Amino acid sequence: MKKIIWLLTVSFLLTKLFAQNTENLITSAEKTGAQVYWDSLSGSGLLEKNGHQISFRAGDNLVLQDYKTLAITDAPELKDGVLYVSKNFLSNAEKLFKIENNESGYKIGAVLIDAGHGGKDPGAMDTHTVNGKKITVKEKDVNLAVAKMLCARLKSAYPDKKILMTRENDVFLSLAQRTEIANSVKLKDGEAILYISIHVNSSLDKKASGYEVWYLSPGYSRTVLDKNATDDKNLFNVMNIMMEEEYLTESILIAKFIMDGLQTQVGNLATPRGIKAEEWFVIRNSKMPAVLVELGFLSNQKEAALLVDNSYLQKLSLGIYNGLAAFVTHFERSRGFTGTK
């Protein structure tokens, strides 16, 4: 019994000491006018004020300041769903926030739209009888049509951004060529690029239908930083892991926004199949936030008829556009973190 009482006393004292030396980050941020963005999926977050940003992870004493400088501080702690930081963490943050910042902040500088397949590679194909006529639906044609519509919408809305396509006509590009195009886009300091690959599904099950959005599996490890980012191998690995997690968070958010946009535009014409994770070549080899959109199943007769209907393709392109626009607004305000104050 004495041992139990002693353990309870020690636990109480440690809890009290923890409470005295730490503060609820969200509550503290509200008092000082800072913004907190927290992503529970990756256990990472962002603290922002006066144009400065601090990227952090729960349980890690390394933070990334303004996306270029690593600093050591007390590790943030997640306890009972609440994020706590030490007074030292807050003090160091305020020192950064007081430095005059003349930079305009991160923004989306380019969007690359990849129309899957093309040329000698038609992708999925199927023939159906629609309104008494036989039609052959080729994936490469649907992909390109929606990609062009999306490109036109984005160019109209964002004349200051690079809106690019991997292909603008019926030509063949290898998967490696597509990612090479993505990774070679020139950006200015403080700019980011998004990669959107457009495809159409097919299945032996003729009843399969619906649209879905894919992002890279969280367990897949890749190098996203330039090899010259730093000469210190250990530092490079830490920075690469942090950037990987950030790209994953942003890709999931893009997928969610696009799925929401498609659902709004398509309505009950097709079924949403949700957002999913997979290691598709084009998204695992692109060094940026990337998603792959499957517009529907051309093996399904009802859906095949929709996929050759220009008005339906306009709905799809508008849904994807609205999702991307929502992400761009969010990104340019919070650098891609899902946020709760």
Q: What is the pLDDT of residue 225?
A: 65
Angstrom CA distances, 197 to 27, 264, 271, 303, 330, stand at 40, 20, 20, 20, 21
CA distance 2 to 167: 75
Q: What is the pLDDT of residues 104-119, one digit of tens each?
A: 567 899 999 999 999 9
- Residue 243 gets the label, from left (phi > 0), alpha (psi -120 to 50) or beta, of alpha
Residue 45: how many other CB atoms lie within 10 Å? 25
Which tokens hold the place of 14? Answer: 């440690």
What are phi and psi for residue 50, nearest 5 degrees?
Answer: 55, 35
Please answer whether residues 303 and 287 qualify as being in contact, where contact means their C-beta atoms are separated by less than 8 angstroms: no
CA distance 322 to 111: 14
Q: Please identify which residue in the block is written with the tokens 């991307």.
A: 324
Q: What is the pLDDT of residue 242?
A: 73
pTM value is: 0.74
Q: What is the pLDDT of residues 127-165, one digit of tens each?
A: 998 888 899 999 999 999 999 999 999 999 999 999 999
Please answer whether residues 137 and 308 qualify as being in contact, where contact means their C-beta atoms are separated by less than 8 angstroms: yes
